[in-house]
Amino acid sequence: MHPINHAATRPDHAAIIDAASGKTVTFGEMDAFANRMARWLRAHRVEHGTRVGLLLENRPLYLQLLWATQRIGAMLVPISTRLTAPEIAYILEDAECALLLTSSKFTEEVKALEQSDIEIVDVDAAAFTDDVASRSPEMVEDPSPGQYMLYSSGTTGRPKGIVPPPPPSDDITAPNALVGLATMGVGMPTDGNMVYLSPAPLYHAAPLGWCSTVHRLGGTVVIMDKFTPEGALAAIEQYRVTDSQWVPTHFVRMLKLPEDERRRYDLSSHRRAIHAAAPCPVPIKAAMIEWWGPIIQEYYAGSEGIGMSLVKSEDWLAKPGTVGRMLYGKAHVCGPDGRELPPCETGLLFFENDKLPTYHKDPGKTAEAMNERGWMTLGDIGHIDEDGFLFLTDRKSHMIICGGVNIYPQEIENLLVAHPDVLDAAVIGAPDPDLGERVVAVIQPVDMEQAGEALEQTLRDYLEPQLSRVKMPRQFDFRPDLPREANGKLYKRELRDEYARKAT
């Protein structure tokens, strides 16, 4: 299963729809462009293994460029659009990219890169589009499967490139592991009638991986240029979306809509809604299942691709908070001494897999993520119950040590975002001369005009019966937004660094 097969049998079927404009790219058009673009890349010395940077906003062209690199063995390096020019330059240099494909939207960032040796190509420039259009739409000679090298989000330090294992076959149409998980695990159809909504940035692992999988299955991808709660619900109704992918932040934003607005949209076409990227608070997910029905499936995985669990609504309702049983890779829970722990004991999660990635130019980080048994960790804390269901507690790097007590902030954050006056929350450890670290809650209120002592007391009263005293935030701060990525990941490092600077 591959887009080139669908281009041959169903060339007029929609491959990509831009949610805002309704602009459609068919499988035939996507395949012809991918071949033309592949020839353009080869003319610019892009060969097997060459790294190609991609800094582009969400638009149909993003996936078209992906499929061009996928047929000449190139290594695409997607770059976050929220990064600054120095951060972009670091990734381009670290990945050893031969060229950067970008757009006029990033003119200011690109100006800072002009002194580098990398070739920078504006995909909106007439010279580029004309050059690509002039090339043959036939399949390139000697095609080979390409890959992409994702960079970690950098929530705890500088991002690191994740070098994937080599592809299992030289056949570009060979199925991959995600296709099997999509069909046999999630239950995505293979008849080409799937319409999949992608509301998140395409430079992230999940949107890019699932969108390409939908194309392999012959389905249609509906792309949102930017998520809004109303826009997402309207897209489901307008395009008769059957499948979708979300993060918990999307759920929170949609649930904060007034009831009459949430009920305004026809969501009857919706069959499967998958979510991941961050732990979902139990009350939030329960409310989503009550609203959308038992169509919600959650998976737990990482960009490293070393393991994946899945849980459907029925099992989650029986075991609230679980992220499911393992579908790919084997999970182990280990204590501080490296010993594997029995069921229901909490420790550091490791994954056993015969295919493990490495961190680009960082053997130290690769070694740090491994244990003596050859298992790899993503840095998450959790436990596995007697039935094999996995539960996550928090990230090891997010742990707060207050007066010698280990505190996992995810528990506190989950409670806070469930409060009707809170839109988002981050709980961090700030330097404290007596306690080592004190618990600080940084709150984004639904209405910033409510921020102040009265709201703080309301939240304290709300938390008090649900938290032990040591976990109660000693400080509440309010701000109009938090440094959260559109994929749901919170940049706590930025907040911790800010409070550390204030302390000094």
Antiparallel, parallel or unpaired: β 272-275 and 243-246: parallel
Q: Report the alpha-carbon distance of residue 100 to residue 55 in Å, rounded.
A: 7
Instruction: Note the pLDDT of residue 156.
Output: 55
Around Cβ 492, how many Cβ atoms within 10 Å? 22
Handedness of CA 67, 73, 79, 80 (dihedral sign): positive
For 175-212, the three-class secondary structure string (H helix, E strand, C coil) is CCHHHHHHHHHHCCCCCCCCEEEECCCCCCHHHHHHHH
Q: How many domains does the chain have?
A: 2
Q: Report the alpha-carbon distance of residue 53 to residue 118 in Å, rounded.
A: 10
Tell me the angle at which helices 282-292 and 248-255 cross, rounded to the nearest 10 degrees: 70
Domain C-terminal end among 216, 239, 268:
216
Flag whether 364 is in a domain.
no
Whose tokens are 């058009």? That residue is 29
Flag whether 19 is in a domain.
yes
Around Cβ 474, how many Cβ atoms within 10 Å? 13
Q: Report the alpha-carbon distance of residue 96 to residue 114 in Å, rounded.
A: 16
Q: What is the mean pLDDT of residues 349-365?
A: 91
- CATH code (residue 446): 3.30.300.30
Tell me the angle at which helices 205-216 and 60-69 cross, rounded to the nearest 10 degrees: 70
Instruction: Note the pLDDT of residue 165.
Output: 86
Give the side-chain half-sphere CA count within 13 A for 365. 18
Domain C-terminal end among 201, 216, 231:
216
Flag whether 419 is in a domain.
yes
**Average model confidence (pLDDT) for the chain?**
93
Q: Report the alpha-carbon distance of residue 146 to residue 70 in Å, rounded.
A: 4
- The conformation of residue 85, written as its DSSP 8-state character, comes to H
- CATH code (residue 139): 3.40.50.12780
CB 374 within 8 A of CB 363: no
Q: Report the alpha-carbon distance of residue 288 to residue 277 in Å, rounded.
A: 17
Flag whether 454 is in a domain.
yes
Look at the pTM and tell me if it is higher than 0.85.
yes
> Mind listing the pLDDT tens digit for each residue in 141-150?
999 999 999 9
Domain C-terminal end among 187, 216, 245:
216
> Mind listing the pLDDT tens digit for each residue in 70-123?
999 999 999 999 888 999 999 999 999 999 999 999 998 888 887 778 999 999
Flag whether 138 is in a domain.
yes
Using alpha carbons only, give the angle 104, 110, 111 rounded to the nearest 5 degrees: 110
Domain span holding position 151: 3-216
